[in-house]
Amino acid sequence: MKKFIMLSSPAPTGESAFGEGWNQALPIGNGSLGGMVYGDPLNDIIQLNEDTVWVGGGGRNRVNPKARGSWKKCRELLLEGRIREAEELCESDLYAVPDQQRYYDTCGHIRLKFSHEDYADYRRILDLESAIARVEFTSGGKKILREYFSSRPDSVIAIRQTSEEKFGVKVDLSERDNPYYKLDIGESGCFVTVNQPEGGCRYCVMASAESDGCIIFNESGFEVYDANELTVYISIRSDFFGDDPVARCAADIDAALELGYEAVKSRHIEDYKSLFERVCLELGGDDRSDIPTNHRLANAESDPKLAELYFDYGRYLLISSSREGTRPANLQGIWNKDHTPPWGAKYTININTEMNYWPAGVCDLSECELPLFEHLRRMLPYGKKVAADMYGLEGFCAHHNTDLFGDCAPQDRWMPATVWPMGAAWLLTHIKTHCEFSGDVSLAKENLDIIKEACRFFTGYLFEHNGKLITGPSVSPENTYLHPSGEKGSLCVGPTMDSMIISDLFESCIHYSKLFGDEDELTKKLEEMLLKLPKPSVGKYGQIMEWAEDYDEVEPGHRHISHLWGLYPSDRLSFEKTPELMKAARVTLERRLANGGGHTGWSRAWIINMWARLRDGEKVGENIEALLTRSTYPNFLDMHPPFQIDGNFGGTAGIAEALLQSQSGVITLLPALPPKWQSGSVRGLKARGNISVSMSWSGGRLDFAELTLNKDCDFRLVIPDGMSANLPSGAVAAPDGKDPQGRTVLKISAPEGTKIRVK
């Protein structure tokens, strides 16, 4: 069955409807160069982005000079229960100056006004198998086809129209809403250059065309007459890497023109399919692909194949917004229509950026995660300076946002979020996850120095209180508690999430230091400190406590569920290791949802993953349906609201988590299958240990599974009731007790290339 998003009308393109239409446009991207396709037959728009085009420049030191002498005083006030005074001191002395980092910018849009006078038989699709958007319609009874894609091999957006009758088009490249643009005509095409103020980047948007008609360049772009075929190429480059953006664009355009459209298209499809075709999910149910996708969203409860499409769309978006050598996917991937986007479309690292990469390992897209680790390198010198200037400490830290340039100082003046020095630590836990899925520990070896620097910061930041090492001042993102004194507070000491993140970070540092023969005094110190880090505690409602004290939440249905970080994405909470805490985790989740939790797209996506870890397939299914019906735009992008891409990525990860889990060295097949997914199959998911997994099931029960070991591996496999594992010679298996659901567990040791069949 074809995998595509289909809409029966173009996205609105009128000046007053431009913003509204964006949530109906279709995204294309090559990792760095993005476009939103409106698909209007008569007045088309492609809104443009490039991942290094940000407002302002880097190299700033925004640390408040008063912070170094005040952060410990904040801690003392918190310990004394003087919450208001602590937060007032935080506002005056700890918030950065200025308080804002840089933000992502749009590159404007290109308009194409066609000579067609009317249209009928309209259809607009995004083909997820080829990463090509298409518009099909008739005009005067003649068929017209328009294609759009963003090519990674050739670094251009290509737009191609073919028609059975002659047509003309005016291509307008002028950026009317940007006062800093200048339009010129060069040998390779017309181009806009923008010199941003405040040390911002200089960038170029260049367009050229090939056609069987006549092309004439003018003061706003170019016009085409008497054409049956037209191809427009667009390139965008900035001076972020020190290059001349005009020359780079010209080289891209000239190379594409020399290759020709069919070659550019073929190279694009081959590159994209090399990643997308690694995994294939097929869920049972009626084929409703002939129904417009936005109409299907209204009936998600009776359309299980919609989850299949959402899963594929998330993989498409990750491939399209994060490739090796690009910048990481930001709060909107690479797609942004605004000069001042919501939350700056930055990297929000108290959940959102991390969620962007949750599907990478399990969906066999580990190389799409590499930009995140390259960005950690960019953050390192800034984060070390923040640790020194703000806290007077060694090591590396970042707060809840970073930007293109690696800024690590506090962002905003918002008490529930701003002073939270855990951002780098959370990002660094992705290194261990990446190595587990890919089976390649070289990334950990290359970045062990960064891991050590982050640990070194916490050796100074943690302090002993009641026999435990805790953080402070900090927050439990972005929540507020009610202190016994009656005061409301966000700034606190010892939030549960902090201790869990630091525990994972310390354990990774110790493990890799020993693995690579790089043990030192820090390793020994971390081993000692690890013993004093708090474990999660159960509160008066039977819930996991969010703070060091059993405070009530001011907002019990808060969107963040930070104290369940150990359930997902970590595995500090599990049925195997902490069965009693798993009961408390369920209570925590039920309380959040009973009080209105999950009201944003990304929060609902996180909840899907948590229910999967709790092995509740019914709840997984309910929350996937809620994500689709309440938090998804017509173009399938996540509705925070407004748009944030993390919900798409988190939802894709949650669907995978329902089908396969491999944390704590145990592989479980179909651990949380929604009841409506009675039959289906999946090929190519990845388990930790670099194990490829394919399965089929019917009647809600596993029929067959094949595990292919891509390296020598030792792991435990849960065998479903009534099934057995067939191992070839060279593989060794031994019974290893029962899992918490009473199923047999095999301990398996096998060499690379082994195929294990369960049937």
Q: What is the pLDDT of residues 314-361, one digit of tens each?
A: 999 999 999 999 999 999 999 999 999 999 999 999 999 999 999 999
Predicted confidence at residue 186, as pLDDT, reads 87
Total residues belonging to the chain:
759
In this prediction, residues 89-104 reach a mean pLDDT of 97
Query: pLDDT digits over 234-270, tens only?
Result: 999 999 999 999 999 999 999 999 999 999 999 999 9
pLDDT score of 196 more than 90: no
**pLDDT of res. 559:** 95
Nearest to 370 by CA among 424, 331, 314, 318: 318
The answer to whether 90 and 102 have CB atoms below 8 angstroms apart is no
Residue 14, pLDDT score: 78
Confidence (pLDDT) at 190: 87
What whole-number distance in Å separates Cα of residue 74 and Cα of residue 76?
5
Amino acid (1-letter code) at residue 290: D
CA 489 vs CA 92, 553, 692: distances in Å:
16, 10, 47
The predicted model gives 707-719 an average pLDDT of 95
Give the separation between CA 557 and CA 4, rounded to whole angstroms.
35
Tens digit of pLDDT for each residue in 168-190?
999 998 776 677 788 888 888 88
- Say whether pLDDT at 199 is over 80: no
* Mean pLDDT for the chain overall: 95
Give the model's pLDDT for residue 709. Answer: 97
Compare 232 and 729 and report the one with higher pLDDT.
232
> Tokens in use for 88?
């007032």
**pLDDT tens digit sequence for 156-172:** 999 999 999 999 999 99
Token pair for 117? 């006078």
- Main-chain dihedrals φ then ψ at residue 478, nearest 5 degrees: -110, 45
In percent, the amount of the chain with pLDDT more than 70 equals: 99
607-623 residues labelled b (16+ CB within 10 A) or e (exposed): bbbbbbbbbbbebbbbb
pLDDT value for 261: 98
Beta-carbon contacts of 693 under 8 Å, excluding residues fewer than 6 positions away, are: 660, 667, 669, 682, 684, 685, 686, 687, 705, 706, 707, 708
Strand partners, 735: 746
The answer to whether 667 touches 717, Cβ cutoff 8 Å, is yes
Looking at 14-23, 43-52, 542-551, which range is the least confident one?
14-23
pLDDT score at 176: 64
What does the pLDDT average to over 651-676?
Answer: 97
Quote the pLDDT of residue 710: 96
Confidence of residue 103 (pLDDT cuts 50, 70, 90): very high
Residues 548, 559: Cα–Cα separation, whole Å: 20
pLDDT exceeds 70 at position 16? no
pTM, full prediction? 0.97
pLDDT at 115: 95
Q: Can you tell me whether residue 564 is helix, strand or coil? A: helix
In angstroms, the CA 657 to CA 672 distance is 8
What is the pLDDT, as a whole number, of residue 187?
86
- Report d(CA 113, CA 117) in Å as an integer: 11
Q: Per-residue confidence at 20, pLDDT binned at 50, 70, 90?
A: confident
Region class of 579: left (phi > 0), else alpha (psi between -120 and 50), else beta: alpha
- Considering the chain, what percentage of its residues have pLDDT values greater than 90? 92
pLDDT digits 0-9 by tens, 532-562: 999 999 999 999 999 999 999 999 999 999 9
